[in-house]
Amino acid sequence: MATHMSRCRSWSPVQRYGLAAYRRYSGGGGYPNIPLSSPLPGVPSPTFASVDGLEKSETRITTLENGLRVASQNKFGQFCTVGILVNSGSRHETKYPSGIAHFLEKLAFSSTAQYGSRDEILLTLEKHGGICDCQTSRDTTMYAISAEVKGLDTVVSLLSDAVLQPRLLDEEIEMTQMAVRFELEDLNMRPDPEPLLTEMIHAAAYRGNTVGLPRFCPGDNVDKIDQAVLHGYLRSYYCPQRMVLAGVGIEHEQLVKCARRYLLNTRPVWGEATPTDVDLSVAQYTGGIVKMEKDMSDVSPGPTPIPELAHIMIGLESCSFLEDDFIPFAVLNMMMGGGGSFSAGGPGKGMFTRLYLNVLNRHHWMYNATAYHHSYEDSGLLCIHASADPRQLREMVEIITREFIQMAGTPGEMELERAKTQLKSMLMMNLESRPVVFEDVGRQVLSTGKRKLPHELCALISNVTTSDIKRITSKMLRSKPAVAALGDLTELPSFEHIQAALSSKDGRLPRTYRLFR
């Protein structure tokens, strides 16, 4: 073989291609006569791979006899991402101590009926190059594993054990209590206030109900949550009808076969019983204000500390992700954009969004102005987060309220097209990642029973018009504001003044007069 290869290397171009072809195309005179737009004569036409319909990109869904839905999306590669999504989160803790979902996130992939410890689970996954993770949000709990495709049977077996048969030992609960206390302490100390402000704005917007319930376990509840409380919650919410087994990168038939083997007749460790305490409450938007006076001067020590800042987040009710207006709200959120005053980037990086052009570029003393859109199955919240020196808090609030009022104006065609293109670009870039595709498949099937494909979403984005933006903004501005404020709040305007500004034509705060300063 080696002799044959060395002989091939020693062949001259004449021997390899033939004398006629060598003279015609290797000489200087052959190339100028044939334009680059024309194929070379005598060279066979290339054969390209073709896609036989859309079946390769469609999400396939099967419902088992017990109500569990199995959804899969085929994707080329040696690795797959498989997981179980449960319609359960902090919004469902009305009849239980707040913080159970937070505890379950920390307890995930601990000892089970089949595995004696977390280390055993990790060693089993290691044989298939796998990793595992659990994440909870306000409305969903997601157990996920990424591993080699050949280990699918082991992966589904492990998922079934982790979700339906966790031991929840006393020592594991004690370790989780320590982890939760540390996370709560870290939440109040970290320089980035965004997670804390998000918690506060939800508490203000949906006071005491559904998505307004705390996502992080309150400090007073850490010692109240034990195995009996966890089993009571799991009995109500961890039933097959509220679950989806989703997989990306595997054949649908294989996933259904594994689901039947490990998830169809498996008895949960808390026993099989008809759920009785399921909370079916619909989110009630209330609006309001949540304030936290806090010394932010020592949040970021070091040679170049971040200056002391006051943070404000103002939100208005938008819509649920099941409504047709969800896509226009996503475009509006992209149009507002924003970021930090030190963000790097250029065209396509959000530097031409309104919060950059109208706020950060004009007011050098503002450190941050960012738009966020939180959407759930029955409500939504569009908000703007801003940060500045505490002495300029009142002026910053007025700038944000004016931006909300200006949303109701007619956006420029170029501005709208830029936002739509950026949203489509972000959507397609995110869906290049297998774990993101897995989460998209699981969440859509869990909430709607089907999945809209990327090209369908792009078509909906393209159809958004300026009249859609004006309509949804006018509707949004009629809702009561939700306000979250953190830091030195001496200069914070009253909630009534913020509400009056959002009801005015120009977004300006009512004037206040002081006899003494």
Task: Pull the structure tokens for residue 209.
Answer: 């109900």
Amino acid 275: pLDDT: 75
Alpha helices, DSSP H, located in 18-151: 19-26, 100-107, 118-126
Q: How many angstroms separate the CA atoms of 310 and 132, rounded?
A: 38
DSSP state of 211: G
- β-partners of residue 310 are 388
Q: Angle CA(355)–CA(358)–CA(363) in degrees, nearest 5? A: 100
Q: Report the side by side order of strands in the sheet with 69-73.
A: 60-63, 69-73, 243-248, 79-86, 141-148, 131-136
Task: Kindly tell me the sign of the dihedral angle through the C-alpha atoms of 95, 101, 102, 106.
Answer: positive
Amino acid 55: pLDDT: 46
Q: Angle CA(177)–CA(183)–CA(186) in degrees, nearest 5? A: 145
Burial class (CB in 10 A: 0-12, 13-18, 19+), 298: exposed
pLDDT along the chain (517 residues), means of 10: 49 51 50 75 75 64 96 91 97 94 97 95 96 96 97 97 96 96 90 92 96 95 95 94 96 96 93 79 96 78 72 97 96 92 56 90 92 96 96 96 94 94 95 95 96 95 97 96 96 96 93 64
Q: Report the side by side order of strands in the sheet with 338-340.
A: 288-293, 482-487, 310-317, 380-388, 366-375, 338-340
pTM value is: 0.86
Amino acid 279: pLDDT: 87
Contacts of 439 (CB under 8 A, 6+ apart): 142, 144
- The b-or-e profile of 116-140 (16+ CB within 10 A means b, else e) is eebeebeebbeebebebebebbbbb
Amino acid 162: pLDDT: 97
Size (the chain), residues: 517
Q: How many angstroms separate the CA atoms of 101 and 96, rounded?
A: 10
Amino acid 15: pLDDT: 52
Please identify which residue in the block is written with the tokens 């503002």: 366
> What type of residue is 328?
P
Containing H/E element for 278? none
Amino acid 198: pLDDT: 96
Q: Could you give the count of Cα atoms lying within 13 Å of 484 in the half-sphere of its Cβ? A: 25
Q: What is the DSSP string of 293-341?
A: E---TTSS-SSSPPPP-EEEEEEEE---TTSTTHHHHHHHHHHH-EEET
Q: What is the dihedral of CA 401, 403, 404, 410, to 10 degrees?
A: 150
DSSP state of 479: S
